Amino acid sequence: MTVHRCFRDVVRIGPVQVATSYDGRGRDKHTAACTAPRCGFSADYDSRAAAELAARTHRCKS
Ligand SMILES: [Zn+2]
Protein backbone atom coordinates (compact mmCIF):
# COMPACT_ATOMS: atom_id res chain seq x y z
CA MET A 1 0.00 0.00 0.00
CA THR A 2 1.33 3.37 -0.92
CA VAL A 3 1.46 5.77 1.94
CA HIS A 4 0.52 9.25 0.94
CA ARG A 5 2.02 11.59 3.45
CA CYS A 6 -0.19 14.60 3.32
CA PHE A 7 1.23 17.28 5.56
CA ARG A 8 -1.03 19.81 7.11
CA ASP A 9 -0.85 22.43 9.83
CA VAL A 10 2.69 23.27 8.86
CA VAL A 11 4.30 25.85 11.09
CA ARG A 12 7.84 27.13 11.28
CA ILE A 13 9.55 27.56 14.62
CA GLY A 14 12.95 29.08 14.01
CA PRO A 15 14.60 26.90 11.36
CA VAL A 16 12.43 23.93 12.22
CA GLN A 17 9.18 23.08 10.51
CA VAL A 18 6.51 21.12 12.35
CA ALA A 19 3.78 19.35 10.43
CA THR A 20 1.03 16.87 11.07
CA SER A 21 0.40 14.00 8.70
CA TYR A 22 -1.79 10.95 8.55
CA ASP A 23 0.25 7.79 8.91
CA GLY A 24 -2.12 5.58 6.95
CA ARG A 25 -2.99 3.43 9.91
CA GLY A 26 -5.62 5.60 11.46
CA ARG A 27 -3.33 7.81 13.47
CA ASP A 28 -1.81 11.21 13.09
CA LYS A 29 1.91 11.59 13.13
CA HIS A 30 3.79 14.74 13.99
CA THR A 31 7.07 15.53 12.36
CA ALA A 32 9.68 18.11 13.24
CA ALA A 33 12.30 18.76 10.58
CA CYS A 34 15.06 21.35 10.49
CA THR A 35 15.40 23.20 7.22
CA ALA A 36 18.89 24.52 7.86
CA PRO A 37 21.51 23.28 5.41
CA ARG A 38 23.77 20.53 6.77
CA CYS A 39 21.69 20.07 9.88
CA GLY A 40 19.47 17.20 8.83
CA PHE A 41 17.49 17.02 12.07
CA SER A 42 14.21 15.23 11.55
CA ALA A 43 12.05 13.27 13.96
CA ASP A 44 8.55 11.93 14.32
CA TYR A 45 6.47 12.30 17.45
CA ASP A 46 3.22 10.87 18.75
CA SER A 47 1.89 14.23 19.82
CA ARG A 48 1.87 17.68 18.37
CA ALA A 49 3.08 19.13 21.67
CA ALA A 50 6.14 16.91 21.66
CA ALA A 51 6.99 17.89 18.10
CA GLU A 52 6.62 21.59 18.82
CA LEU A 53 8.68 21.29 21.98
CA ALA A 54 11.44 19.58 20.03
CA ALA A 55 11.31 22.35 17.44
CA ARG A 56 11.52 25.06 20.08
CA THR A 57 14.43 23.48 21.88
CA HIS A 58 16.33 22.44 18.76
CA ARG A 59 19.71 24.01 18.32
CA CYS A 60 21.60 23.53 15.12
CA LYS A 61 25.03 22.07 15.53
CA SER A 62 26.51 24.16 12.78
ZN1 LIG B 1 18.92 22.36 12.86
Exposed e or buried b for every residue in 49-60, given b needs 16+ CB within 10 A?
eebbebbeebee
C-alpha atoms less than 13 angstroms from C-alpha of 56 in its C-beta half-sphere:
6
Contact between residue 13 and residue 1 where contact means Cβ atoms under 8 Å apart: no
Question: What pLDDT was estimated at residue 33?
Answer: 97
Going residue by residue through the chain (62 aa), what tens digit of pLDDT does each one get?
Answer: 455 568 999 999 999 999 999 988 899 999 999 999 999 999 999 999 999 999 999 999 76
User: For the chain, what are the domain ranges?
Assistant: 8-57
Q: Cα–Cα distances in Å, from 12 out to 9, 21, 56? A: 10, 15, 10
Compute the radius of gyration of the chain from its Cα atoms: 12
| Protein residues placing their CB within 5 Å of the ion ligand 1 | 34, 36, 39, 41, 60
For the question of whether the overall pTM of this predicted structure is more than 0.95, the answer is no
CA of 25 to the centre of ligand 1 (A): 29
